[in-house]
C-alpha cells in the first residue's frame, strides 16, 4: 500500500499548475491593457466634447502653450485624395499630457477633472503614452507670447498612444497607425511622422 506521491507525479502536478496559472495571468494582463486603452479613448472623447463646448461659447478652440513638433510631424488632410499631404503654413502649438496644465482651459466649465488621469508610466518599450492636443498657430511675433496667434484656432487634433495595436489606430481616420487620433473643427489635422 502506497502512502505518498512519486516524484514524477509531483512534477506533473506542479507543471500543470504552472501552465494554468500562466494562462490565467496572461488573460488578466490582456484585459488590463484593453481597459486602459478604452479609458484613454473615452478620455479623449470627453476632451473632444469639452473642446466643442468651448468652441460654441468662444468661437475658437483654446491655444495650447507648447510650441514646435518634438518628434511628431503634422499635415492637413486633403479632402480630395484622403491623404494627409498638405503642409502646414504655420507653427504647431500643443499641450502635452505628461506636463502640468493639460487643457486647463476646459476645467471646470467644459470638462470634469475626474475625466482625465494620464497613465504616464512607460510601457515595456519605454514609451510614455504622451497624449497631445495640437492646433496650428501663425504667431504675430514668432517665438512670442503663447496667446499671440494671428487667427485663433479653428481646428485641432487630439492624439494618444495606446497599449495595444488592435486596429483602433488604423481605423480612426487619422494619419498614424500607432496613435489614436481625434480631430475637430473646420479642417482635419493628421500625424504624419511619429517617434519610434
DSSP 182: E
d(CA 120, CA 125): 13
DSSP 177: S
Q: Can you read off the three cell numbers belonging to residue 32?
A: 488590463
d(CA 96, CA 98): 6
Give the pLDDT confidence score for residue 21 in this predicted structure. Answer: 81
Q: Can you read off the three cell numbers belonging to residue 12?
A: 506533473
The string of pLDDT tens digits covering residues 151-165 is 888 999 998 887 776
* Number of Cβ within a 10 Å radius of residue 156: 25
Give the pLDDT confidence score for residue 70 in this predicted structure. Answer: 62
Give the pLDDT confidence score for residue 24 in this predicted structure. Answer: 74
Q: What angle do CA 52, 58, 63 make, to 5 degrees?
A: 80
The string of pLDDT tens digits covering residues 113-145 is 666 655 544 445 444 556 888 888 877 766 555
Q: Can you read off the three cell numbers belonging to residue 27?
A: 488573460
Give the pLDDT confidence score for residue 143 in this predicted structure. Answer: 58
Nearest to 147 by CA among 59, 52, 66, 47: 66
Nearest to 47 by CA among 107, 93, 7: 107
Where do the structural domains in the chain lie, given as residue ranges? 7-193
d(CA 5, CA 127): 49
Q: Can you read off the three cell numbers belonging to residue 145?
A: 507670447
The string of pLDDT tens digits covering residues 39-96 is 888 888 888 999 999 999 999 998 887 776 567 788 888 888 888 888 888 888 888 7
Instruction: Name residue, grid cell 502653450.
Output: 65
Q: What's the rounded mean pLDDT across residues 20-42?
A: 77
Q: Is 68 left (phi over 0), alpha (psi -120 to 50) or beta?
A: left
> Does the predicted TM-score (pTM) go above 0.85?
no
Q: Which residues contact 97 (CB under 8 A, 6 or more apart)?
A: 116, 118, 120, 129, 130, 131, 132, 160
Amino acid at each position: 500500500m502506497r502512502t505518498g506521491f512519486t516524484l514524477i507525479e509531483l512534477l506533473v502536478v506542479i507543471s500543470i499548475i504552472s501552465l494554468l496559472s500562466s494562462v490565467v495571468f496572461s488573460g488578466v494582463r490582456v484585459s488590463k491593457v484593453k481597459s486602459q486603452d478604452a479609458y484613454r479613448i473615452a478620455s479623449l472623447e470627453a476632451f473632444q466634447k469639452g473642446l466643442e463646448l468651448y468652441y460654441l461659447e468662444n468661437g475658437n478652440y483654446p491655444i495650447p502653450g507648447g510650441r514646435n513638433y518634438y518628434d511628431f510631424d503634422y499635415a492637413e488632410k486633403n479632402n480630395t485624395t484622403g491623404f494627409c499631404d498638405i503642409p502646414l503654413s504655420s507653427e504647431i502649438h500643443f499641450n502635452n499630457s505628461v506636463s502640468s496644465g493639460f487643457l486647463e482651459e476646459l476645467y471646470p466649465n467644459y470638462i470634469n477633472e475626474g475625466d482625465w488621469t494620464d497613465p504616464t508610466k512607460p510601457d515595456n518599450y519605454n514609451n510614455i503614452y504622451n497624449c497631445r492636443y495640437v492646433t496650428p498657430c501663425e504667431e504675430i511675433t514668432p517665438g512670442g507670447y503663447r496667446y499671440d496667434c494671428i487667427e485663433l484656432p479653428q481646428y485641432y487634433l487630439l492624439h494618444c498612444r495606446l497599449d495595444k495595436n488592435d486596429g483602433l489606430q488604423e481605423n480612426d481616420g487619422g494619419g498614424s497607425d500607432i496613435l489614436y487620433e481625434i480631430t475637430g473643427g473646420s479642417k482635419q489635422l493628421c500625424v504624419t511622422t511619429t517617434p519610434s
